Structure 1
Amino acid sequence: MSTPGPVRQGLQLAPFRGLRYASERVSSLAAVTSPPYDVVVRPDGLRHLETADPYNIVRLILPQTASPTARHQQAAQTLRRWQAEGVLAPDPEPALYVYEQRDAGQLQRGLIGALRLSPPEEGIVLPHENVMPHVVEDRADLMRATAANLEPLLLSYDGAHPGTANGSSNGARPTTPAPDAPAPEGPAPAATPGAQAVIDRAVQRPPLLATTTEDGVAHRLWRIADPAEIAEATADLGRHQALIADGHHRWATYLRLRAERHAPGPWDFGLVLLVDTARYPLRVRAIHRLLRQLSPADALAAVGDAFRVRPVAGPLPDALAALATAQREAAESGAPANAFLLAGGGAFHLLDRPDPARLAAAVPQDRPQAWRELDATVLHTLLLDQIWQVPDAPEHIGYIHDAAAALKQTERHGGTAVLMRPVAEEVVRELAQQGVAMPHKSTSFGPKPATGLVLRSLELS
């Protein structure tokens, strides 16, 4: 376990020739987009995307064939065919892209570009979660086959405080623009030169594209090709480090593929979206576990006296509220605040008040207290590893971002859903800055960028 050193050279964001859908060749831009690959977890969701438009991006990020090798080859062939047919076409010159997402409750804007890769020990890009090797291997095979970055990672940085990844030292945040405020007319207001000033000027101009996806989120994209504006934005970003908000497996894949090459080139960079969370705070949500081969009855019987176990009433929102209350009351009383909601078989059960002796014996003591107290740490070290003895393999555990979707899976296919509460953002940041990785799939930051609005081909000059 190493602590990242001080930031000497910060984020290095480079322009690239974006590969984008030709709007006249598809039914709509919304119909060819997708959530990130790891959010499309249900077969019905995959089928919905595949049937939305024959050119939906899911055919590249999650191709469906009999074997992994065939899947990756199919994705590469599909990408080449779509380019040859003019469905996907490169922009005429390298650029950075301003990307905006807007819904009823949030406005987010950031810069999409090609980020120079750096290992964690340099303290420029900070991961906060461990990764699963089989996922990195799959993503690496896909990127090798396609020679493309098909979807951007989401990185956050604190534009108000150079040299920090996310969040100010005192926790204060500047006021965020109202999400439903109309775009101002006329010249942009005066702003300190830098990435945000470039973004503010860009959004005064007509967008390169605009679409609203079926979830009600409006997406807009602008191209920044002026060398002076690119220099202004990149000089500012060079003073900052960033936290990986979403995309740990893709970042690990970027680093793995770069290590395979010994000469400088396009593999030294990876596609990212950088969001200044001092101005546009992200949401942090939990990622739930689906234990595919463990029944609720067996799960509860095995727990014994390691946790207090209580049935709680549904429906799902009421059961989740009981989970939040249990954690809050435990924290106020000084007891271990770890709590989990088990769902399946038409019932909900609350697991809370873990036995301190069992915790101390299961959880490694050579990590910071904030790590030892994480729900994900307790879940994996005590419940999954010792009590339930569930292997961390895809056939045993599914990771689902939406609690209702996890519950639906148990109703359809059996098993047990373990529903969790989100981790506080300041805990994520604290551990990342210490160089301490959380268990994989501990957090879900958002809103996540839509996949399919702009791609990066490593074969374009």
Structure 2
Amino acid sequence: MSAPSAESGAKTSPGGPGDPGRVAAAGLSLSPFRGLRYVPERVGTLAAVTSPPYDVVDPHRRLGLETADPHNVVRLILPRPEPEDTGGRSDRDTRYRHAARLFKKWQREGVLAPDPQPALYVYEQRARDDGPSGELLQRGLIGALAVSGREGGVVLPHEDVMPRPVADRVGLMRTTRANLEPLLLTYRGSGGASGVIERTVQREPLLTTTTSDGTHHRLWAVTDPAELAEVTRDLATCRALIADGHHRWEMYLRLQREHRHLPFSPWDRGMVLLVDTARYPLRVRAIHRVLYRLPLEQALAALEDGGWTLRELSGPLEQALAALTEAKADGGNAFLLTAGDSVYHLLTGPDDAMLDATVPKDRPEEWRRLDATVLHSTLLEHVWRVPDGPDDIGYLHAAAAAEREAARTGGTAVLLHPVDEGVVRRLAEQGVTMPRKSTSFGPKPASGLVLRSLELG
């Protein structure tokens, strides 16, 4: 049999569903755990204590989540510093300490309570959709996945990571000793795990809630040994692609290395949501850039050489994005530039000479032609000379938010078109990572429905 791909893998004999130790397997090993969940009677509503993943929560939304309920999980995943505990400690350290104290306090007070026995959790999301069916349905399994490194690993990253967010997540998890939100991973199985999921959703769920965006969430526990074994057999033939959570996966790897001296370590596993995309395809969206210190006039003036073509478009935003989609259909690279004034500039190009001069040649041609590659290697580094740091580049998931941020800062928003999922998989299987923040897979799991404390085993 050939080497396993991101969609399938060689049959192996991983540790059983309850094995807490290290697993040397060619496939995925997903273990049950005793999930910590909010006690409905101790909070306003379950919806009021959930949050989107930490990296898509902007400051305005963060404040709204904090005021929705005093126990909203955003207080754990994006904690504030403790004002009474700042002497001699960094702001970051006090934030982590505050999150750890809240986490323990909420358990002591019965706001968060552990489930009686370890389980894998079936998680379902339903939302309205603009596709043919009018509805988006996603189902997957939440469990504790065996952590493996990049070399010969069964979890494939497709994007580079930034040191600062990794260090931030490492500090938070190290201090709280918890997995506070699941990563989103995709795989393609032979049907065993999907069969368990489809049977489970016929039962009464542990919880049901509808978040403010209109998404319906349901959660079930799978504890039957036969069903757990069925999931284990299926996943043992698979590898996974990281859809969302590259920085947190790097966090898992780093913390596992820190605890190598422990013979049986809870740090050897990390909480994930696994979705079989053969059954439930994810949506891939672009992540846009805002160049805080580059005014639009300066950005446009620097595009005289290199075979670039500019076309000015009037709004609205949806119409400009449709023009971007049309330009991508013709092949080549295309970007929308705006200062947030409802005027857009469709940028296409560059020519082959500019690509050869600015884009590394030691990668596959498919990687060299990515919009994100050309943006970072050619435009940011060579044409605009924008430093690669948080003070100069912002990453936003919504085009409208990027446009507003450009208007607020006097900078330039660069709006991108989504990358096809097939391209992402092909590059990941070759061990080639895309520029960071190249894609946004979704729908993303809500944070706060189930948490994993490493102290519960």
- TM-score, length-normalised on structure 2? 0.89
SS in 2 for 1:236: helix
Give the Cα separation in 1 of the matches to 2:66 and 2:390: 23
SS in 1 for 2:294: coil
Residue type matched to 2:221 in 1?
R
* C-alpha distance after superposition, 1:24-44 (max 9, x if no partner): 11111111111111111x211
- 1:180 is matched with which residue? none
Give the Cα separation in 1 of the matches to 2:186 and 2:4: 17
The answer on whether the counterparts of 2:4 and 2:239 sit within 8 Å (CA) in structure 1 is no
CA displacement at 1:445 relative to structure 2? 0.6
1:131 matches 2:158: no
Give the Cα separation in 2 of the matches to 1:230 and 1:284: 30
Give runs of aligned pairs for residues 356-395 of structure 1, distance below 5 A: 356-395=352-391
Instruction: Say how many residue pairs are matched.
Output: 420
- 1:57 is matched with which residue? 73
The answer on whether the counterparts of 1:305 and 1:355 sit within 8 Å (CA) in structure 2 is no
Give the Cα separation in 2 of the matches to 1:345 and 1:432: 34
Give the Cα separation in 2 of the matches to 1:98 and 1:295: 47
- 1:280 is matched with which residue? 280
- 1:43 is matched with which residue? 59
CA displacement at 1:303 relative to structure 2? 2.1
SS in 2 for 1:81: helix
Unpaired runs of at least 5, structure 2:
13-25, 82-89, 129-134
The answer on whether the counterparts of 2:292 and 2:394 sit within 8 Å (CA) in structure 1 is yes
- 1:433 is matched with which residue? 429
Give the 4+ runs in structure 1 shifted more than 4 A. Answer: 3-8
Give the Cα separation in 2 of the matches to 1:341 and 1:4: 38
* C-alpha distance after superposition, 1:208-260 (max 9, x if no partner): 00000011100000011122211111121111111111111100110000001
Residue type matched to 1:51 in 2?
T
- 1:107 is matched with which residue? 137
* C-alpha distance after superposition, 1:166-191 (max 9, x if no partner): xxxxxxxxxxxxxxxxxxxxxxxxxx
- 2:206 is matched with which residue? 208
1:26 matches 2:21: no
Residue type matched to 1:106 in 2?
L
Give the Cα separation in 1 of the matches to 2:119 and 2:108: 22
* C-alpha distance after superposition, 1:133-186 (max 9, x if no partner): 1111111001001000000011101124xxxxxxxxxxxxxxxxxxxxxxxxxx
Give runs of aligned pairs for residues 90-239 of structure 1, distance below 5 A: 90-104=114-128, 105-160=135-190, 194-239=192-237
- 1:80 is matched with which residue? 104
1:249–1:88: structure 2 CA closer, same or farther, 3 Å change rule?
A: same
- 1:319 is matched with which residue? 320
Residue type matched to 1:14 in 2?
S
* C-alpha distance after superposition, 1:54-87 (max 9, x if no partner): 1111111111238111111111111111111111
CA displacement at 1:411 relative to structure 2? 2.4
* C-alpha distance after superposition, 1:377-406 (max 9, x if no partner): 000001111111112211111111111111
Give the Cα separation in 1 of the matches to 2:173 and 2:314: 46
CA displacement at 1:305 relative to structure 2? 2.6
The answer on whether the counterparts of 2:73 and 2:447 sit within 8 Å (CA) in structure 1 is yes
Residue type matched to 1:15 in 2?
P
- 1:448 is matched with which residue? 444
Give the Cα separation in 1 of the matches to 2:183 and 2:429: 19
Give the Cα separation in 2 of the matches to 1:293 and 1:71: 29
Give runs of aligned pairs for residues 335-414 of structure 1, distance below 5 A: 337-346=332-341, 347-414=343-410
Give the Cα separation in 1 of the matches to 2:455 and 2:49: 22
SS in 1 for 2:151: helix
SS in 1 for 2:361: coil
Give the Cα separation in 2 of the matches to 1:425 and 1:51: 37
What is the identity percentage for the equivalent residue pairs of Structure 1 and Structure 2?
63
Q: RMSD over aligned Cα, in angstroms?
A: 1.5
Residue type matched to 1:326 in 2?
A
CA displacement at 1:121 relative to structure 2? 2.0
Pick the aligned partner of 1:16 from 22, 33, 52. 33
Unpaired runs of at least 5, structure 1:
161-191, 332-336
Residue type matched to 1:365 in 2?
K
Give the Cα separation in 1 of the matches to 2:301 and 2:123: 49
- 2:86 is matched with which residue? none
Give the Cα separation in 2 of the matches to 1:247 and 1:323: 27
The answer on whether the counterparts of 2:187 and 2:238 sit within 8 Å (CA) in structure 1 is yes
Give the Cα separation in 2 of the matches to 1:353 and 1:399: 22
Give the Cα separation in 1 of the matches to 2:225 and 2:285: 38
1:257 matches 2:274: no
